[in-house]
């Protein structure tokens, strides 16, 4: 007998690592139908339908992104949070400053470097069985972002430790709080040294450009530069690493696609978009209503923490027919893997390009690529807010 799908009367959403997300996805579908706005035992509100989530993220005046200030009285947030936590009008000026630097042209210019680094990592494989995450998906974005920022590639081990601290520790425990605090200090101090060097010397890298960017006579201060650099190192690393793993899980679920993509590389782009719809890197994002608001028939009080389930929005049958089928020809303009509105992810084009180049190179190099199900697949826990794998064993056959 199949396991019954839990409904609203649960203490918490089902864990991804329970069965790779199958129970969670079934629960989300039931919640979209039965209780599209749900208050958990802690009093936090969860929103599941695409229409409601799109309404919220498109209205920053009514739904604030500044969750730290509103919910914890200005408590220090993890590094890399400033731009994500800003509301208008400050957000608009910060976004314009950062957008001067992080342009589509600059990102497109990174393609040769991405190809070089990915080739180097693939050349270093010494077996036809390897962990995609450890050997390729984790180091690739860290090495690319390090090159962009102008920090030494040799320090990528530090970034991996900091990222692991933020992704694996439970911040609600005493140990987690200690690790989080130490990580904030170490990462912030490290990046501050590089920002100071750029203000006092002659460099040519992304940190230098951030330091010099100007809008309406205003420049980014040291805290802003450090925060954006941390955002790139941490969120940019996680997004690409998880996307790469999810791409191969998509191929695992649809084995015929491997030959199709190898024969027609232009199909990699729509394939990637369907991966992002089915398996967005992040489960959910947070907002806080700035006044009492009515949503799906429910009254939500001001300053209530709201979780907007991107995974649920991307599987909403009201927007995506047959949402649990993997269809590469599906129109995916409405998928929300990288958010929507003023906080749409600046790094989305970079993550997409890294994924496309990486898959293209692996198709050139290997005649067959399979997920090795003889080994355990290790998923992130829900509290990390990542929909993907910490480890993904692959078995490959060289061309």
Give me the pLDDT at residue 81, please: 52
Lowest mean pLDDT among 78-87, 190-199, 267-276, 390-399: 78-87
Give the domains, in start order, of the chain with CATH numbers. 16-398 (1.10.630.10)
User: How many angstroms separate the CA atoms of 139 and 304, rounded?
Assistant: 38
Is 153 a residue whose pLDDT tops 80?
no
Mean pLDDT of 298-302: 95
pLDDT digits (tens, 9 = 90+) for 305-338: 999 999 999 999 999 999 999 999 998 889 999 9
Q: With cut-offs at 50, 70 and 90, classify the pLDDT of residue 79.
A: very low
Give me the pLDDT at residue 224, please: 87
Please report, to the nearest 10 degrees, the dihedral formed by the alpha carbons of residues 193, 198, 204, 206 taken in order.
Answer: 60
Q: With cut-offs at 50, 70 and 90, classify the pLDDT of residue 282.
A: very high
Highest mean pLDDT among 219-223, 234-238, 371-375: 371-375
Is 339 a residue whose pLDDT tops 60?
yes
Identify the residue with better confidence: 61 or 86.
61
- Assessment of whether the complete model's pTM goes beyond 0.85: yes
Length of the chain: 399
pLDDT digits (tens, 9 = 90+) for 202-231: 898 989 988 988 877 888 889 888 988 888
What percentage of the chain exceeds 90 in pLDDT? 62
Q: With cut-offs at 50, 70 and 90, classify the pLDDT of residue 381.
A: confident
């Amino acid at each position: 007998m199949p396991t019954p799908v839990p409904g609203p009367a649960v203490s918490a959403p089902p864990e991804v690592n329970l069965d790779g997300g199958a129970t969670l996805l079934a629960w989300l579908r039931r919640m979209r139908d039965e209780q599209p706005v749900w208050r958990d035992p802690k009093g936090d509100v969860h929103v599941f339908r695409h229409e409601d989530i799109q309404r919220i993220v498109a209205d920053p005046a009514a739904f604030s992104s500044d969750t730290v200030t509103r919910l914890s009285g200005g408590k220090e947030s993890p590094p890399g949070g400033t731009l994500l936590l800003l509301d208008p009008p400050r957000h608009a000026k910060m976004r314009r400053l950062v957008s001067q630097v992080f342009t589509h042209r600059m990102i497109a210019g990174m393609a040769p470097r991405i190809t070089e680094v990915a080739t180097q990592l693939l050349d270093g494989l010494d077996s036809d069985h390897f962990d995609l995450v450890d050997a390729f998906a984790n180091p690739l974005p860290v090495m690319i972002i390090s090159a962009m920022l102008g920090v030494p590639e040799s320090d990528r081990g530090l970034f991996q430790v900091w990222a692991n601290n933020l992704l694996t520790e439970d911040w609600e425990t005493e140990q987690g709080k200690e690790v989080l605090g130490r990580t904030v200090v170490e990462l912030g101090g490290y990046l501050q040294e590089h920002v100071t060097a750029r203000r006092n010397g002659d460099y040519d890298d992304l940190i230098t450009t951030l330091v010099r960017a100007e809008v309406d006579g205003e420049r980014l201060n040291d805290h802003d530069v450090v925060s954006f650099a941390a955002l790139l190192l941490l969120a940019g690393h996680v997004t690409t690493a998880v996307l790469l793993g999810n791409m191969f899980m998509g191929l695992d679920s649809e084995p015929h696609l491997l030959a199709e993509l190898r024969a027609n590389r232009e199909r990699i782009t729509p394939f990637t978009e369907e991966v992002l719809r089915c398996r967005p890197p992040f489960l959910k994002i947070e907002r806080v209503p700035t006044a009492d608001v009515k949503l799906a028939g429910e009254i939500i009080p001001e300053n209530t923490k709201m979780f907007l389930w991107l995974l649920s929005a991307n599987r909403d049958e009201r927007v995506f027919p047959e949402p649990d089928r993997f269809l590469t020809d599906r129109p995916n303009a409405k998928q929300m893997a990288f958010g929507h509105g003023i906080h749409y992810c600046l790094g989305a084009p970079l993550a997409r390009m890294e994924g496309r180049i990486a898959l293209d190179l692996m198709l050139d190099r290997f005649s067959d690529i399979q997920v090795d199900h003889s080994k355990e697949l290790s998923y992130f826990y829900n509290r990390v807010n990542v929909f993907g794998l910490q480890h993904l064993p692959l078995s490959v056959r060289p061309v």
